[in-house]
Structure 1
Amino acid sequence: MKSYESTANAGSNPAAASEHGAIEGHSIDFIPEHERTDRLSRQGPFWFLGNFTFFTMTIGFVGPSVGLTSWWTTVAGTLGIMFGTLFMAFHGSQGPHLGLPQMIQSRAQFGYRGVILVLFATLFVFAGFNIVNLVLMMQGLKTLFGWDPIRIALAVTVPASILAVLGHDWMHRSFKWALYLSLPLYGLVTLAVLMHWVHDIPLPATAAGANPPAPLGFNWTGFIAQFAAAASYNIAYAPYVSDYSRYLPKNTPGGKLIAAVFVGASLSGAWMIAVGGWLADHLHASDVLVALNQVGSDLAPGLGSVIVGVTILAFLPVIAMNIYSAKLTAITGVDSFRKIRPTARTRIVAVLFVVCLQLGVALSIYTSGKGLSVLNIYLVVMLYFLVPWTAVNLTDYFFVRKGRYAIPHFFMPHGSVYGAWGVRGLISYVIGFAAMVPFFCIFDGQDEVYVGPLARAIGSVDLAWLVGLIVSGIAYFLLARSLDMSKEEALIHQIEKTSPQYTTGDKRF
């Protein structure tokens, strides 16, 4: 990869610069073919670890909180995670084909400046993940060891921020080592659960005259709630994937890449949700770090602390990944209104902005004492914001423009074939989101936050995400029929003739 030292001299030898520089040189710009040195074999393990975390276990807490047993939580969570992974995996195929970050490519649907709408939604996701992560770590480590929450937040955020500044290759390396650390211990935790080496904890006695809690079982409302939480978790990865697949060679087979992302992300996601559902069902866990410490301590003295320590250490690359993609989103947002050069300084300033935002909000939520409540609500709202975008983006890529884009025009504030405001994409997003509102179904545990009238009419079952996918996708496909694709194709042919490095060719499946 090109180093920052080489960006100052565009005419310097990139290969020589790469040998001397350790920091990723690219940001929101196009990745030339000769710098795409990543390998397809790294994608599956990378996305496996992305979900192989304690945070994914908390998704399994949703089922028992709405009346499901661990078994039904596992079934609903597995189906949901597989459904959500389909979307992130198909987005991943765009990376090597175009050599661009995901949100830059979204300018084709929403316009050079209109993309700011979806940038706010994705920044909410990237920053929101880390905010909830930090809250859960602060709560768990404070409970277990009495550690100061501010010091915990800084101890986790500082190394992750450095990793985000170093960039793509460094994060791939850190993910590999984090997988080596976490796989044996999480394997041991899973074995302990399957072999019943950890004893169930009985429910606490209820006060005199109070009704005992209903036994866990199956209900459709809870099943769909768990399905939606798991689906939203991996749909939320959709804006990430191209950021980490754009360094793959252009001729990477799309089908193999989609399969690698799908298998890696869905396998670990289903695994961790199943463990989380068991912890919530049998140990009545509301704090995943405390529950992991209990499992380890039941197996061997001191093992609980080791599991918690490795869990936090292995999670640092995931925090860095969120910061990295949030940084790309922030830079894209500024660049949409004021052209900026993606220099080292720009990168660091963007990282600092994201980190300060995350720390401030995380500390505020922590002091409120509503970490798990915020998690449940956040997962649902996150899905609502992302669903119209993913429907529009994938419809455009696979069914409208079919992978053919004028890449230089993504970086043209004026005179771009995609325009400043992509009216079709923006209208489709708004239509899809508006159609979802009557189906919104947001709960804090058993407490209702907001339930739309149509959701209430069907028994408070959350189908808003499905409505958004269908409506936004169809709306964009119909509106895009008025696009002059022959004009775009002629322009693309001219670009490919004069600048062969921007050739997109045919998608490979």
Structure 2
Amino acid sequence: MTHKKYQLNNIIEQHAIDYIPENERHGKLLSQFTLWFGANLQITAIITGALAVVFGGDIFWSIIGLFIGQLLGGSIMALHGAQGPKLGLPQMVMSRASFGIYGAMLPIILVCIMYIGFSASGSVLAGQAVARLLSVSDSAGILLFGACLIGFTFCGYKTIHRIGKVASLVGIVAFFYMFYILITQHNIIELLSIRHFSWINFSLAIALSTSWQIAFGPYAADYSRYLPTNTPMVKTFFAIGSGSVIGTQIAMVFGVLVAGLAAQTGGQFRYNEVSYIVELSGVGFVALLLYFSIAFGKVVITTLNAYGSFMSMTTIISGLRKNHTLSQRSRLIYILVMVGLSIMIALLGRGDFLRNFSTFLLFLLTFFTPWSAINLVDYYLVKKKHYDIPSLFDTNGLYGKWNKVGMGVYIFGILIQLLFIHTPFYTGVLVSYLHNTDISWMIGWIIPAVLYYFLSINETNK
């Protein structure tokens, strides 16, 4: 009986948002690379890259813009992930040090919305792949994918890293084959030679990949928090960052090429993204294998989002209840609620997925760039990589219920971006002076970072 209990505990994670003791730390940096590499080598990254061309960019400059955004956003995301081994806590719990225990609930609620949205968008694409693979409707495919999602999310940390390793291998094989077919059967050189540089489209490509990477920031440390405390920060940074940047860039470059080919040949890419990509690369048994690789590729990233939403929901409730432990029954209920919401949205919102997703992605950046800036400046520059962990769970502790500086800078960071943002449903008053170039993500990170640093240092010196 004891042996069976040990095996079960080895499969199903026992911790939630509580601190991971040193004697339970495990894992190697390679698993950080494979997790983020496998999580990004998937269909949604392909489509996000394709957006740079679908909305007017050329092939060459879109690839360059996307790569610049990967480096910028990937560096920020990896800095968040590097906090995990040192603190042994989920990412959003750390926010309490700069926002206060109650104050941190505002960005955490927005994070929950993000995770549900990403899980929904991932379920739409994975559902299409499952539907083609099993010859069922898209709705049935989404529901079947949702059931798998619940199982993997409930098992937790170790299982997520294990499927990340498998997804890396599956992704490498699938993408090698798809690139081979694309390059040998189509004139890619001709596509790359068509160049018409535009600052608007170039900045859009940078914003797409930057937002993609920064969107991982609120849960990057969730998947590194079990690493031993003495894991070198620099090595953790490069393991996480390189996996995410390389995997994403490969997928997005493929998306750019596919979208460029579709525009050149008049192919129906929009509204039919998954089928178009698979039919471009193979038919029959090969197509079935590609549908499987697409569905499996979505398992990792969508499980990350579902797990992140569960952790965030737990963080919110624990702040209200002043209890950071969680029973397995409560764990399952939270996961069912969060995954259920994402599946419901996926079933209701299957329409113009491409445009809706791009709008959603860029809109999220408005809320998470200032949070990212505050979190990183607070941890690395203000508190010098030292947090009082018990105080993160105590409203009467060092960080208190509310941090006026953190909350004020965060809200200001959101508001100032509204002057520079350019989306289909809202355009800032200063955008026209910048030739309709959206630089809100840059403004929303740099200004809050500088402002929070000086205000916090001033507060400390009083």
- Shorter-chain TM-score: what band? over 0.9
Query: Shift of the alpha carbon at 1:283?
Result: 2.1
SS at match of 1:72: helix
What CA distance in whole angstroms lies between the structure 1 residues aligned with 2:178 and 2:413? 42
The answer to whether structure 1 residue 44 and structure 2 residue 33 are counterparts is yes
Contact 2:85–2:229 (8 Å) recurs in 1: yes
Is 1:288–2:273 an aligned residue pair?
A: yes
Are the structure 2 counterparts of residues 137 and 174 from structure 1 closer, same or farther at C-alpha, using a change threshold of 3 Å? closer
Say which SS state the counterpart of residue 337 (structure 1) adopts: helix
Partner secondary structure for residue 151 of structure 2: helix
Report deviation, 1:141: 6.2
Residues 36-93 of structure 1 show CA distances to partners (whole Å, capped at 9, x for unaligned) of: 0111221111111111111100111221122222222211111111111011100111
Structure 2 unmatched ranges of 5 or more:
189-193, 264-268
The answer to whether the 8 A contact 2:126-2:145 is kept is no
Select the structure of larger CA radius of gyration. Answer: 1
Please, which of 378, 395, 418 is the counterpart of residue 437 of structure 1?
418
What TM-score, normalized to structure 1? 0.84
1:346 is displaced (CA, Å) by 1.8
**In the TM superposition, what whole-angstrom CA distance separates every residue of 1:104-151 from its partner, at most 9, and x where no partner exists?**
111000111111111012112211111111223445666898632321
Output the CA distance in 2 between the equivalents of 1:239 and 1:62: 24
**1:144 and 1:315, CA in 2 relative to 1: closer, same or farther beyond 3 A?**
closer
Higher helix share: 2
Tell me if the contact between 2:128 and 2:141 (Cα under 8 Å) persists in the aligned partners: no
User: Which stretch of structure 1 is more off in the superposition, 141-150 or 250-259?
Assistant: 141-150
Distance change >3 Å, CA 168–CA 140, structure 1 → 2:
closer
From 426, 430, 454, give the equivalent of 1:478.
454
Alignment match of 1:393 (pick from 367, 370, 375): 375
Give, as a single letter, the amino acid of the residue that structure 2 aligns with 1:316: V
Measure how far apart 1:301 and its partner are. Answer: 4.3
- The within-5 A match list for 1:198-347 is 198=186, 217-284=196-263, 285-286=269-270, 287-297=272-282, 301-340=284-323, 341-347=325-331
Residues 11-160 of structure 1 aligned to structure 2 (within 5 Å): 18=6, 21=9, 22-138=11-127, 147-160=136-149
| 1:211-234 CA-partner distances (Å, limit 9, x unpaired) | xxxx87321101101110111001
* CA displacement at 1:485 relative to structure 2: 7.6
Q: Distance in 2 between matches of 1:450 and 1:186?
A: 36
TM-score computed with the length of structure 2 as normaliser: 0.92
1:194 aligns with 2:183: yes
**Whole-Å separation in 1 of the counterparts to 2:394 and 2:4:** 30
2:341 aligns with: 357
Pairing 1:421–2:402 present: yes
| 2:358 aligned residue | 376
CA contact (8 A) 2:322 2:394 kept: no
The aligned counterpart of 1:467 is: 443
Q: Report if the CA contact (8 A) 1:141-1:289 is conserved.
A: no
2-structure distance, mates of 1:361, 1:216: 38
Judged with a 3 Å threshold, the aligned counterparts in structure 2 of structure 1 residues 142 and 19 are, in CA distance, closer, same or farther, namely closer
Deviations 1:349-385 (A, max 9, x none): 110110121112222212xx12111111011011111
Whole-angstrom distance in 1 between the partners of 2:411 and 2:257: 39
- Conserved 8 A contact 2:366-2:414: yes
The Cα shift of 1:417 comes to 0.8
- Residue identity over aligned pairs, in percent, reads 27
Count of aligned residue pairs for this structure pair: 449
8 Å Cα contact 2:29-2:236 kept in structure 1: yes
Determine if contact 1:296/1:302 at 8 Å carries over to the other structure: no
Q: Residue in 2 aligned with 1:403?
A: 385
Letter in 2 for 1:337: L
Q: CA 1:156 to 1:142, structure 2 compared with 1: closer, same or farther past 3 Å? A: closer
Larger RCO (CA under 8 A, 6+ residues apart): 2
Letter of the 1:225 partner, please give it.
L
